[in-house]
């Protein structure tokens, strides 16, 4: 058996180490009084995705919680996939809303736009799709549904840094788009997230979000500040932002390696159920569908290849338990397996992964 192959592995180069040292030595680790990396990261990411505004926070979870706090969700419904990380759904609950689960398409594992309209009621306020694995959902169709029914489109783009839809980067479409920069993500930081805004009212939204990002603090001046409503401590730190700026410079190159690997998987893995190849996808994950999943994952583990499950469908967990029929989501819940796809995989490792799957699935 060769060396263990990790499911996730961030790229850690000389530059990341250098900027970390620099921030450490500056003694200004938090934002605000720091060297200004957080603001620089916001500006650079805004330029990269071409959005109206960007607000950096300390996780994708914080981005979702904060973004949905703008929506006055009490007693309102949010249409959302169940095949996602629990943070997507928690953000709805914590803001007083009700998740209404929608099934996913078999080829993308993203929200099936044809299943949305029958779920819309008088209480529906938001549609919250997830760009699962970095594959964009059908944003054009979902945008049309939102327009027709006067709903707000908020995207969970935790997997989609660098992905595109119709020639434009994810982050430039929906009114609010939430990113995660968790260490396993395509753009990795020790901890980080971001809210992108595309709306003529973005300056007003920015002011509200900035206050809520740091304990509700407003009207800062040399002598103090005021608080008009409660907020959280969701600020990104300077070390994360500095690392994020380095990662952003190489994001396209890293995503291109992910895509080359995904292209090989889509051609060489002998399985019916597997992620298709798409030039616009950021391939945060690469999924396959395997009938005897537990045995398969054990065999892969014994061959030194890590695999994972993304995700157990949220509607099957105690807190969110719902009697809904989501056939594709439930099939994925039983059969989906994530295999390694990241910039640190050599051709030989990719060969080993493909061989392992073709022999054991």
Give the shortest CB-157-to-ligand PLP separation in angstroms: 8
Two tokens, residue 115: 């299943």
247 is a contact residue toward ligand PLP (CB under 6 A): no
CA dist., res. 84 & res. 21, Å (int) = 35
Alpha helical stretches, state H, 138-180 = 139-149
57 is a contact residue toward ligand PLP (CB under 6 A): no
Asked if residues 231 and 214 have their Cβ atoms less than 8 Å apart, the reply is: yes
Give the shortest CB-311-to-ligand PLP separation in angstroms: 8
Which 61-100 residues touch ligand PLP, going by CB under 6 A?
61, 84-85, 87-88
180 is a contact residue toward ligand PLP (CB under 6 A): yes
CA dist., res. 120 & res. 78, Å (int) = 9
CB nearer ligand PLP, residue 35 or residue 86:
86
Give the shortest CB-49-to-ligand PLP separation in angstroms: 17
182 is a contact residue toward ligand PLP (CB under 6 A): yes
Asked if residues 77 and 149 have their Cβ atoms less than 8 Å apart, the reply is: no
CA dist., res. 246 & res. 41, Å (int) = 10
Q: Is 136 exposed, middle or buried (0-12, 13-18, 19+ CB in 10 A)?
A: buried
Give the shortest CB-106-to-ligand PLP separation in angstroms: 19
- For residues 125 to 164, the per-residue mask of contacts with ligand PLP, x marking binding by CB under 6 A and - elsewhere, is -----x-------------------------x-xx-----
Q: Which stretch binds ligand PLP (CB under 6 A): 59-67, 201-209, 225-233, 299-307?
A: 59-67
193 is a contact residue toward ligand PLP (CB under 6 A): yes
Q: What one-character DSSP code corresponds to residue 5?
A: B
Alpha helical stretches, state H, 314-346 = 327-335
101 is a contact residue toward ligand PLP (CB under 6 A): no
CA dist., res. 97 & res. 123, Å (int) = 10
The residues that touch ligand PLP, with contacts defined as CB under 6 A, are 59-61, 84-85, 87-88, 130, 156, 158-159, 180, 182, 193
């Amino acid at each position: 058996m060769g060396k263990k192959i990790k499911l996730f592995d961030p790229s850690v180069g000389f530059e990341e180490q250098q900027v970390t040292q620099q921030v450490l030595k500056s003694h200004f680790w938090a934002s605000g009084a720091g060297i200004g990396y957080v603001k620089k990261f916001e500006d650079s990411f805004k330029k990269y995705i071409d959005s109206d505004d960007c607000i950096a926070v300390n996780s994708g979870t914080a981005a979702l919680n904060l973004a949905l706090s703008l929506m006055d969700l009490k007693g309102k419904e949010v249409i959302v996939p169940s095949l996602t990380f629990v943070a997507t759904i928690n953000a709805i609950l914590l803001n007083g809303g009700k998740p209404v689960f929608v099934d996913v398409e078999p080829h993308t594992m993203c929200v099936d736009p044809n299943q949305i309209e029958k779920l819309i009621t008088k209480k529906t306020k938001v549609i919250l799709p997830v760009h699962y694995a970095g594959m964009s959902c059908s944003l054009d169709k979902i945008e049309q549904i939102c327009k027709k029914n006067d709903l707000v489109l908020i995207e969970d783009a935790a997997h989609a840094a660098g992905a595109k839809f119709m020639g434009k980067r994810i982050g430039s479409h929906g009114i609010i788009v939430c990113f995660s920069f968790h260490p396993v993500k395509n753009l990795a930081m020790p901890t980080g997230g971001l809210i992108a805004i595309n709306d003529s009212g973005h300056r007003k939204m920015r002011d509200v979000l900035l206050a809520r990002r740091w304990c509700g603090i407003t009207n800062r001046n040399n002598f103090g500040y005021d608080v008009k409503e409660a907020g959280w401590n969701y600020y990104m730190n300077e070390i994360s932002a500095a690392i994020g700026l380095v990662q952003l410079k190489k994001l396209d190159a890293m995503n291109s390696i992910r895509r080359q690997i995904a292209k090989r998987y889509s051609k060489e893995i002998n399985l019916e159920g597997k992620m298709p190849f798409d030039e616009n996808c950021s391939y945060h994950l690469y999924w396959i569908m395997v009938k005897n999943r537990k045995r398969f994952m054990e065999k892969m583990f014994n061959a030194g290849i890590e695999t994972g499950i993304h995700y157990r469908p949220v509607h099957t967990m105690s807190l969110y338990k719902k009697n809904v029929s989501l056939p594709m989501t439930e099939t994925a819940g039983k059969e989906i397996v994530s295999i390694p796809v990241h910039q640190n995989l050599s051709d030989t490792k990719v060969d080993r992964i493909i061989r392992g799957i073709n022999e054991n699935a």
